[in-house]
């Protein structure tokens, strides 16, 4: 387990919910963290410290949206939403991926990025790596450059980082 001293308070606000959304899953509920202004601000600041020159932030549905939007607003950057199927009104790129508890897809508007965009990809949790890998694949379908991935919590026992290979990933907290 790795919890940097400046994030101990934020980590204390995360609630573990056993058997959600199905038996055998230990869900990391970030809603108490979001309700606490210090914890939320500390989490956003830590994730934003890994922008690495990005001019856009991409957030993965749905909890990744929260962190990505806060980073983008605070740093005056563009925001791109990577959504579940059927939620975007225009032409999309689509990638299917495996979750720790099933399968899903992510979509992104085909015109979400400009040629010279550099992107920080953000989600709340890195578990098996399927969702994050799908997000990176969506970005590589465009002319944008992925500069870094950032997650607030990494569940190391699920080996998601290994699945991402050489893709740079910052995890604020590793459990």
Residues marked as catalytic: 63, 100
Q: Which residues contact 70 (CB under 8 A, 6 or more apart)?
A: 40, 44
Query: What three-state secondary structure class fits 74?
Result: helix
CB 100 within 8 A of CB 77: no
Compute the half-sphere exposure of residue 86: CA atoms within 13 Å on the CB side of its CA: 1
- CA 126 – CA 28 distance, rounded (Å): 11
Which two three-digit tokens encode residue 88?
């975007």
Query: What three-state secondary structure class fits 5?
Result: helix
- CA 89 – CA 114 distance, rounded (Å): 19
């Amino acid at each position: 387990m790795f919890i940097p001293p400046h994030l101990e308070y934020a980590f204390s606000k995360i609630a573990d919910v056993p058997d959600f959304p199905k038996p055998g899953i230990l869900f990391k509920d970030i809603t108490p963290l979001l309700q606490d202004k210090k914890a939320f601000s500390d989490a956003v600041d830590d994730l934003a410290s890994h922008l690495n020159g990005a001019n856009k932030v991409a957030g993965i549905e749905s909890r990744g949206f929260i962190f990505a939007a806060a980073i983008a607003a605070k740093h005056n950057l563009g925001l791109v939403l990577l959504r579940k199927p059927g939620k975007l009104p225009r032409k999309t790129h689509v990638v299917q991926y495996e979750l720790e508890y099933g399968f899903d897809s992510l979509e992104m508007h085909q015109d979400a990025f400009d040629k010279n965009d550099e992107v920080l990809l953000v989600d709340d949790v890195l578990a098996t790596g399927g969702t994050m890998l799908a997000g990176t694949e969506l970005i590589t379908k465009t002319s944008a450059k992925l500069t870094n991935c950032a997650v607030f919590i990494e569940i190391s026992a699920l080996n998601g980082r290994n699945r991402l290979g050489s893709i740079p990933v910052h995890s604020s907290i590793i459990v």
